Amino acid sequence: MIISSQRHLFSLPRDICYLNAAFMTPQTIDMIAAGDDGIALRAQPWQVTEGGFFTDVERVRALYAELIDANANDIAMSPAASYGIATAARNIKLEAGQEILVVEDQFPSNIYSWRRMADEQGLEIIEVKRPKTDTWTNAILAEIETRGEKLGLLALPAVHWADGGVIDLVAISKKAKNIGALLVLDLTQSVGAMPFSVKDVDADYVAVAAYKWLFSPYSTGFLYVAPRHQNGVPLEENWINRKGSENFAGLVDYVDEYAAGARRFDVGERANFSLMLQAEQSVKQILSWGVENIAETIKEKNKTIRDIFADVGFRGCYAPEQTAHILGVESDNELSPAFVATLREEGVRLSVRGKALRIAPHVYNDDKDIENLKMALGKALSKS
């Protein structure tokens, strides 16, 4: 179902045509208000109850789980994708000489931990090059076929952050399982905007930063840890992850046991009051729009935007049938500084990546935004 414009829920100025959800989504008025309630709590600490440390977090954990078709027990609270990936890396041991597969120009939060691990364990990182005509999926499947059991781990996204190239994780997971390779995902650029089920993909770990497609505050997010890895070692040893930490009077009766499931991997001070209330509001909003509906709605907008750019000589970075919630368009010519500056002056907000533009609309973009984009593009081209 296509979602009609939800602009009324936000406070977006009319002269801004915001097409940069892949950078950071704006929050709704209700999400901001939920955060304000949390901030107000800090003026009166005596109002901070145990709920603020435990039950609020558990509600958010369950909502994150729902987004990816997992159980709340399998979710750890993590402040950044890099934190989740580092947790995964800390718990993976491969054989010297094995390989880790990534894609070209992958986001650094899903690279640096692997580089460290490669140094420490004597591994090699294999980078799949951006395919010229074929899909990312076929390029990755071919690489798995070639490398076979030498490949110990695939560290991938579902959508390329820079230009929206889609990767079919169900197909890749099947093939990875055949050779016994682990699968660690950074789904920051897709959870909330593209349906995903851990039941279909059976990843080992899934890291998500929530300030983009989940409309959540900066420094919130989660790590899915498959049940088979839940006896691992967390990045830090914090008091609240331990069994029985609800009993504040008994905190110095130190225990070796952790709280159940993936909770042992929770970041310290996970119960950041205002952030949790905002995160709850934002994920509830996503679930009420429905991820499938969001995906369909954004795709539709991107088809229109793609046509607008095609009329002025840009082409999509991928074939039209691969258009997802992030649209990359490129031109044969360098983008002149005047072109980029005029788009900005005219209120259009998107990302520039070399000769390509990254466009990421959402449910708040309406027909007037599309009109504004057309006009701005006309002006930008006439000045370049």
C-alpha span between 281 and 278 (Å, rounded) = 5
Q: For the beta carbon of residue 253, count every other beta carbon within 10 angstroms.
A: 8
Residue 52 or 165 with smaller CB distance to ligand PLP: 165
157 vs 328 by CB, closer to ligand PLP: 157
**Would you call 152 exposed, middle or buried from its count of C-beta atoms within 10 A (0-12, 13-18, 19+)?**
buried
For ligand PLP, the closer of residues 20 and 323 by Cβ is 20
CA distances (Å), 322 to each of 69, 142, 167, in order?
24, 19, 10
What is the smallest separation between the CB atom of 165 and ligand PLP, expressed in angstroms? 12
- The token pair that represents 345 in the structure block: 């002056």
What are the residue ranges of helices labelled H in the chain?
Answer: 29-41, 50-53, 55-67, 81-90, 112-121, 136-147, 169-178, 198-201, 273-289, 291-311, 337-345, 367-383
CB-based burial, 361-372: b 16+ in 10 Å, e otherwise: bbbbbbeebbeb
CB-nearer residue toward ligand PLP: 159 or 305: 159
Q: With respect to ligand PLP, which residue has the nearer C-beta, 184 or 209?
A: 209
Least distance between ligand PLP and beta carbon 367 (Å): 28
Least spacing, CB of residue 81 vs ligand PLP, in Å = 4
Q: How far is the CB of 291 from ligand PLP (least distance, A)?
A: 18
Shortest Å distance, C-beta 27 to ligand PLP: 17
Question: Binding residues for ligand PLP, per CB under 6 A?
Answer: 80-82, 107, 109, 157, 161, 186, 188-189, 209
| HEC letters along 179-236 | CCCEEEEECCCCCCCCCCCHHHHCCCEEEEECCCCCCCCCCCEEEEECHHHCCCCCCC
Contacts of 285 (CB under 8 A, 6+ apart): 9, 28, 30, 31, 215
Nearer Cβ to ligand PLP (65/162) = 162
Nearer residue to ligand PLP within complex by CB, 98 or 278: 278
CB of 256 to ligand PLP, least distance (A): 30
Work out how close the CB of 95 gets to ligand PLP at its nearest, in angstroms, rounded to a whole number. Answer: 28
